């Protein structure tokens, strides 16, 4: 499979706090691939040169287009697989922001601004630094130089988030599956009204707390399977991520991936040190289920 992104973690400590990693991808004119990207708590920003998009619910086609100088799209947190279709000679960088991370770079109300699973991103278009960054970034083919240009731009854009720290604390608590505190107890612990919490969460992250926890639990179970060599059985994965029982575990995996856990783990491929998890498809068995195309 001709799909080999070059990935990096941010060098700067400040960026590490808000960005998990980013990767660079350049492809040949003959390149074409379709794959499913599974639900994640990341917000994914894709910055392209000479490319265009066809965007539908849970389906994004990216194709080479010499008439478009630069183009950017974003995918927020979602609870269904996204079918990605890449065509032609592409040149892009993809940034994977941690929950609420993008809010520290000029997009405080992300959920309100970008409510759909995949959208064209324009929040930086009017900022004086963005066109300069794009020119400098694509003026070099050297990956290390691009990395430096990217980080300089992000650091220049950084500002302390105006979001109440309650949301950052809540996200951290909701990702702790050892204690698995209920949303109601989290609100009580953080001294915030439940209704207010739901409203703020949806405004800034684009999904409800219930959906976020559903996706976070899925990713926790996925990471457990990949990185914990002591785990041999699917029941152990379910137990470690605090799924109620095996039936619920199976139900959630069918909802989030279109497969039961056993079939899913047999079919997925991993890239970038197991941090990018895709399923490459020869048959579009999920397309009808989720109306991708």
- The 10s digit of each residue's pLDDT in 227-261 is 666 666 888 888 778 887 888 888 888 888 888 88
Instruction: Tell me what the pLDDT averaged over the chain comes to.
Output: 87
Helices (runs of H) and strands (runs of E) counted in the chain = 12, 12
Band (pLDDT 50/70/90 cuts) for residue 30 is very high
* Cβ neighbours for 174, distance < 8 A, ≥ 6 positions apart: 181, 183, 186, 209, 212, 213, 216
Contact 263/29 with Cβ under 8 angstroms? no
pLDDT at 220 over 60: yes
Q: CA 175: distance to chain centroid? A: 16
Q: Is 34 exposed, middle or buried (0-12, 13-18, 19+ CB in 10 A)?
A: buried
Per-residue pLDDT, 275: 59
- The 10s digit of each residue's pLDDT in 112-140 is 999 999 999 999 999 999 999 999 999 99
Contact 278/271 with Cβ under 8 angstroms? yes
Segments making up each domain of the chain, as ranges: 6-157, 165-266
pLDDT at 92 over 90: yes
Other beta carbons within 10 angstroms of residue 197's beta carbon come to 19
Q: Is 30 exposed, middle or buried (0-12, 13-18, 19+ CB in 10 A)?
A: exposed
Class of the 165-266 domain? mainly alpha
Per-residue pLDDT, 279: 64
Of the two residues 18 and 6, the one the predictor is more confident about is: 18
Task: Round to whole Å and give the CA distance between 293 and 279.
Answer: 17
Of the two residues 283 and 214, the one the predictor is more confident about is: 214
Task: Round to whole Å and give the CA distance between 153 and 27.
Answer: 24
Specify the DSSP class assigned to residue 182.
Answer: -
Per-residue pLDDT, 223: 79
Report the percent of the chain where pLDDT is more than 90: 61
Per-residue pLDDT, 229: 63
Specify the DSSP class assigned to residue 12.
Answer: S
- The 10s digit of each residue's pLDDT in 138-181 is 999 999 999 999 999 999 999 987 677 899 999 999 988 888 89
């Amino acid at each position: 499979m001709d799909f080999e992104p070059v990935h990096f973690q941010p060098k700067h400590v400040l960026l590490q706090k808000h960005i998990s990693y980013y990767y660079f991808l350049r492809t040949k004119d003959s390149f074409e691939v379709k794959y499913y990207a599974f639900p994640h708590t990341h917000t994914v920003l894709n910055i392209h040169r000479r490319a265009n998009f066809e965007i539908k619910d849970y389906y994004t086609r990216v194709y080479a287009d010499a008439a478009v100088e630069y183009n950017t799209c974003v995918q927020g947190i979602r609870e269904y697989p996204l079918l990605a279709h890449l065509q032609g000679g592409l040149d892009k960088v993809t940034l994977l922001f941690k929950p609420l991370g993008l809010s520290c770079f000029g997009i405080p109300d992300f959920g309100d601004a970008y409510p759909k699973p995949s959208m064209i991103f324009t929040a930086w278009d009017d900022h004086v630094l963005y066109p300069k960054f794009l020119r400098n970034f694509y003026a070099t083919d050297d990956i290390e130089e691009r990395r430096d240009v990217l980080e300089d731009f992000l650091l220049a854009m950084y500002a302390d988030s105006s979001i109440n720290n309650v949301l950052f604390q809540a996200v951290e608590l909701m990702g702790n599956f050892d204690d698995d505190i209920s949303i109601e107890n989290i609100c009580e612990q953080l001294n915030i009204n439940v209704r207010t919490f739901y409203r703020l969460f949806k405004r800034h992250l684009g999904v409800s707390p219930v959906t976020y926890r559903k996706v976070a639990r899925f990713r926790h179970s996925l990471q457990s399977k990949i990185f914990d060599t002591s785990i041999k059985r699917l029941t152990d994965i379910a137990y470690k991520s605090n799924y109620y029982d095996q039936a619920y575990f199976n139900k959630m995996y069918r909802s989030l991936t279109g497969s039961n856990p056993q079939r899913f783990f047999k079919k997925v491929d991993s890239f970038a040190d197991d941090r990018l998890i895709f399923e490459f498809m020869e048959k579009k068995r999920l397309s009808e289920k989720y109306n991708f195309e």
